[in-house]
Amino acid sequence: MKKIIATLEWSKDGYGIWFEEFPNVFSFAHTIEEAKIKSKEVIEFSFEDENKKPAWLEKGFEIAIRFDTAGLLNYYQHIFTKRALSKVTGVNESLLSQYAMGVKKPGPKQRNKIEKGIHNLSRELQSISLV
């Protein structure tokens, strides 16, 4: 099954959705759940007028979500506090808040640090067993 990557960029009104593979296809959603649905719909719609549709479209495809930093921080704000994320990532709490509000954008090094910290936490949580 073909996997299409949808990039979600946060704004105060919701999430812009775009696809590297399809530069002329984009959409907007108010929530992540809506973005997942709209991503699939907008891809299908973009091929609606074509005589020959790609085989992968007929077989089905899945959408993989990729966040911008602000989108990730805002989506998980009720699960992880900025203080907790600061401890996990090693990125200053106030800087994380600025990234979440869109005041500043992290460079590649900071994005990698945030992503790596979250992935490390995920692996640690997956290794837990309760007795």
Let me know whether 7 and 63 are in one domain.
yes
Residue 109 backbone zone (phi > 0: left; psi -120 to 50: alpha; other: beta): alpha
Domain CATH for 47: 3.30.2390
Q: Is residue 131 part of a domain?
A: no
Confidence label for 94 from pLDDT (cuts 50, 70 and 90): very high
Q: Is residue 57 part of a domain?
A: yes
| Average pLDDT value for the chain | 93
Beta bridge partners of 90: none
Beta bridge partners of 29: 15
Residue 130 has pLDDT above 80, yes or no: yes
- Amino acid identity of residue 84, one-letter, is A
pTM for this prediction: 0.79
Domain count, the chain: 2
Are the C-beta atoms of 3 and 9 separated by less than 8 Å?
Answer: no
Q: Which domain holds residue 29?
A: 2-67
Mean pLDDT of 61-78: 92
Taken in order 116, 121, 122, 127, the sign of the CA dihedral is positive
Residue 52 has pLDDT above 80, yes or no: no
Let me know whether 58 and 6 are in one domain.
yes
Let me know whether 89 and 120 are in one domain.
yes
Mean pLDDT of 109-115: 97
